[in-house]
A and B are shown apart, each in its own frame.
Chain A
Amino acid sequence: MISVENVSFHYPGGAQVLDEVNLQIKDGEFVAIMGENGAGKTTLVKMFNGLLKPTEGKISVDDVDTREKSVAQLSRDVGLIFQNPDHQLFAETVTEELSFSLRNFGFKEDVVQRRVTSLMNTLDLDRYSNSSPFVLSGGERKRVALAAILAWDPKHVIMDEPTIGQDYLQKDRLRNFIVQLLSQRKTIVIVTHDVEFVAECKPRIVLLSHGRIIGDGTSAKVLTDPALVEKASLVMPQISSLMGTLQDLTPPSDIIDAYSAREFLSTKLKHVVGRKTSQGS
Chain B
Amino acid sequence: MAAIAARKLSFTYAGADKPSMENIDLTVEKGEFAILTGPSGCGKTTFCRCLNGLIPNFYSGNLEGDLEIDGISVKGKSTAELATRVGFVFQNPENQLFSLSVERDVGFGLENLGIPREEALERVQWAMEATGITSLRNKAPYELSGGQQQRAAIAGVLAMRPSIVVLDEPTSFLDPKSAEEIIRVIAKLNRELNLTTVLVEHRLDLVSRYANRVIVMDKGRVALDGPPSEVYGDEARLIGIGLPRVTMLFHLLRGDGFPVGTNPITVDQASEEIRRLLNK
Minimum distance in angstroms from B184 CB to a CB of chain A? 12
Within 8 Å by CB of B249, from A168, A258, A276, lies A258
Query: With A139-B40, A235-B177, A275-B256 given, is the CB distance from A262 to B249 under 8 Å?
Result: yes
A-contacting residues, B161-182, CB 8 Å = 169, 172-180
Q: How many B residues, CB 8 Å from partner? A: 51
Q: Is B155 an interface residue (CB 8 A)?
A: no
Q: Are A235 and B202 in contact (CB under 8 A)?
A: no
Smallest Cβ-Cβ distance to A279: which chain B residue: B257
Chain A neighbourhood of B268, CB < 8 A: 245
Chain B neighbourhood of A249, CB < 8 A: 278
Q: Are B271 and A245 in contact (CB under 8 A)?
A: yes
Query: With A245-B271, A273-B258 given, is the CB distance from A193 to B245 under 8 Å?
Result: no
Q: Are B257 and A245 in contact (CB under 8 A)?
A: no
Within 8 Å by CB of A277, from B91, B180, B257, lies B257
Q: Is A38 an interface residue (CB 8 A)?
A: yes
Within 8 Å by CB of A269, from B246, B253, B267, lies B253
Q: Are A234 and B277 in contact (CB under 8 A)?
A: no
A-contacting residues, B229-280, CB 8 Å = 234, 240-246, 248-249, 251-259, 267-268, 270-271, 274-275, 277-280
Smallest Cβ-Cβ distance to A84: which chain B residue: B92
Q: Contacting chain B: which of A87-95, A145-153, A236-244?
A: A236-244
Q: Are A165 and B91 in contact (CB under 8 A)?
A: yes
Smallest Cβ-Cβ distance to A234: which chain B residue: B176
State in angstroms the CA–CA spacing of A271 and B145 once bound together: 50
Query: With A242-B271, A246-B274, A274-B259 given, is the CB distance from A171 to B242 under 8 Å?
Result: yes
Chain A neighbourhood of B174, CB < 8 A: 37, 193
Minimum distance in angstroms from A265 CB to a CB of chain B? 6
Query: With A239-B245, A258-B252 given, is the CB distance from A37 to B45 under 8 Å?
Result: no
Q: Are A238 and B256 in contact (CB under 8 A)?
A: no
State in angstroms the CA–CA spacing of A281 and B254 once bound together: 7
Q: Is B41 an interface residue (CB 8 A)?
A: yes
Smallest Cβ-Cβ distance to A170: which chain B residue: B40
B-contacting residues, A129-167, CB 8 Å = 137-140, 161, 164-167
Within 8 Å by CB of A37, from B175, B244, B259, lies B175
State in angstroms the CA–CA spacing of A259 and B38 once bound together: 23
Minimum distance in angstroms from B201 CB to a CB of chain A? 11
State in angstroms the CA–CA spacing of A261 and B175 once bound together: 25
Q: Are A266 and B249 in contact (CB under 8 A)?
A: no
Q: Are A168 and B246 in contact (CB under 8 A)?
A: no
Query: With A37-B175, A239-B246, A279-B257 given, is the CB distance from A168 to B240 under 8 Å?
Result: yes
Minimum distance in angstroms from A254 CB to a CB of chain B? 15
- In the complex, 13 of the A-B residue pairs with CB atoms within 8 angstroms, ordered by the A residue number, are A37-B145, A37-B175, A37-B178, A137-B40, A164-B91, A167-B39, A230-B177, A235-B177, A242-B267, A248-B280, A258-B252, A275-B257, A281-B255
Query: Which residues of A are interface residues toward B (Cβ below 8 A)?
Result: 35-38, 137-140, 161, 164-171, 193, 195-196, 199, 230, 232-235, 237-239, 241-242, 245-246, 248-249, 257-259, 261-262, 265-266, 268-269, 272-281
Enumerate the 3 nearest inter-chain pairs by beta-carbon distance, A residue then B residue, closest first.
Answer: A281-B255, A168-B242, A233-B177
> Apart from A138-B91, A281-B255, what 19 extra A-B contacts exist at CB < 8 Å?
A36-B178, A37-B174, A161-B173, A165-B40, A193-B179, A196-B245, A230-B177, A235-B180, A238-B244, A238-B267, A242-B246, A242-B271, A258-B245, A258-B246, A262-B249, A262-B252, A266-B258, A272-B277, A276-B259
